[in-house]
A and B are shown apart, each in its own frame.
Chain A
Amino acid sequence: MQNKQIITAALMAIGLSAALSVATAEDKKPETEKCAGIVKAGMNDCGANGHACAGKAAKDSDPGEWITLPKGTCEKIAGGTVVKG
């Protein structure tokens, strides 16, 4: 097979695999929510509460620190508050 044909076949394979990956990723992506007030110190997800990044929460169950959870989970946890946005 000539290079040109091989490249065409390779690009088709890439296109198919990429389309499949996107579809799979979209299928799997669960709905989530931010849940505050339940995080152990150092286990928070993202920037909040006056610091810049994940893992910087200084104390347990800080109402200003959150982690991402599957939607609907937060309200089942004692002390958990859903963060909007």
Chain B
Amino acid sequence: MPLLELQQRLISAIFQRDQLAAAANLVKTQGRLNSEQRVGIYRNSAHGILLDYLESLYPVSLELVGTEFFGRAAHNFIDQAPPTSPFLAEYGVGFAEHLAQLPALQELMWIVEVTQLEWARHAAWHTVNQASSDFTQLETLSAQEQAELRFQLPHSAQLLSSTAPIHSIWLAHQTEPYADKLSFEEIDLQTAEQVLIFREHRHLHQISLNHDDAAFLKAVQNQATMNELAEQFAEQLPWLFSIALQNAWLTGFTTTQPV
């Protein structure tokens, strides 16, 4: 059998439970372990490593659903969505959507939203930092160029709009004494939250935004021009820019049309 086919059949056995017996035909029985058990060692090893990784990626989700439930969900996820890249940091996207399909969580979608937040943190952390533009240069532009300006959030920015207070729930599960941390019992699960996550140098920021800041950043993310921002936010606009720049929520600007 060509090596490539052998490798593909072994991979099938690792990530598809029903292929274990087929792959076992390729392996000899030795000692007290039959061929299926010997292939199973590889399956368990790969699943074990990926389960450990998913647990480290989604620690709050793990606490919320419990080790047993998380383990079952993770094993099914690993079979349905095995790694496709050699970079482990790229693995785990889509786990929230996998959880969203599970009947047991249909009435607990806030847990799925917390899982989405945990992936957003991971994705933001693994985004390359970029230098900020020099905003003092804006005054050198013509009035026409200023009206057509578009602004940019950090490349790592993740804007989440959730029906549940995901930032508060996440904080409640941290051991560090954050200033705005509430105990889980104090949190009203019906409160929607808008959350911004982004990386600045070696620091990951996670902020619960007020309605105005969230609407402003959403408009910026949607490539609204300065003129459109002025229409939408009127007298609030200078204040919104001040807050955004002081908190490093904006990193650049352009006068060119989006592609």
Contacts and interface: CB of A to CB of B under 8 A. Distances in A.
Contacts of B91: none
B138 A6 contact: no
User: Dominant SS at the B interface?
Assistant: helix
Interface in B216-246: 226-227, 229-231, 234-235, 237-239, 241-242, 245-246
B11 interface: no
B146 A11 contact: yes
B147 interface: yes
Contact of A6 (B134, B237, B245, B248): B237
A1 B235 CA distance: 7
Contacts of B56: none
Nearest to B246: A17
B19 to A, nearest CB: 36
B84 interface: no
Interface residues of A, number: 19
A10 B226 contact: yes
Given A6-B230, A10-B229, A21-B246, A15 B136 contact: yes
Nearest to B139: A15
Interface in A2-38: 3-4, 6-7, 9-22
B234 to A, nearest CB: 6
A21 B230 CA distance: 23
Interface of A: 1, 3-4, 6-7, 9-22
When A and B form their complex, which 9 residue pairs have the shortest distance between CB atoms, in order from nearest? A18-B135, A13-B238, A17-B245, A6-B230, A3-B230, A9-B238, A10-B237, A13-B242, A10-B238
Given A3-B230, A9-B238, A17-B242, 20 more contacts: A3-B147, A3-B231, A4-B143, A6-B235, A6-B237, A7-B147, A9-B237, A10-B229, A10-B237, A10-B238, A10-B241, A11-B138, A13-B241, A13-B242, A14-B138, A14-B245, A16-B242, A19-B136, A20-B246, A21-B248
25 contacts: A1-B234, A4-B143, A6-B230, A6-B234, A6-B237, A7-B146, A7-B147, A7-B226, A9-B238, A10-B229, A10-B241, A11-B138, A11-B139, A13-B238, A13-B241, A13-B242, A14-B138, A14-B241, A15-B135, A15-B138, A17-B135, A17-B241, A17-B245, A18-B135, A21-B246
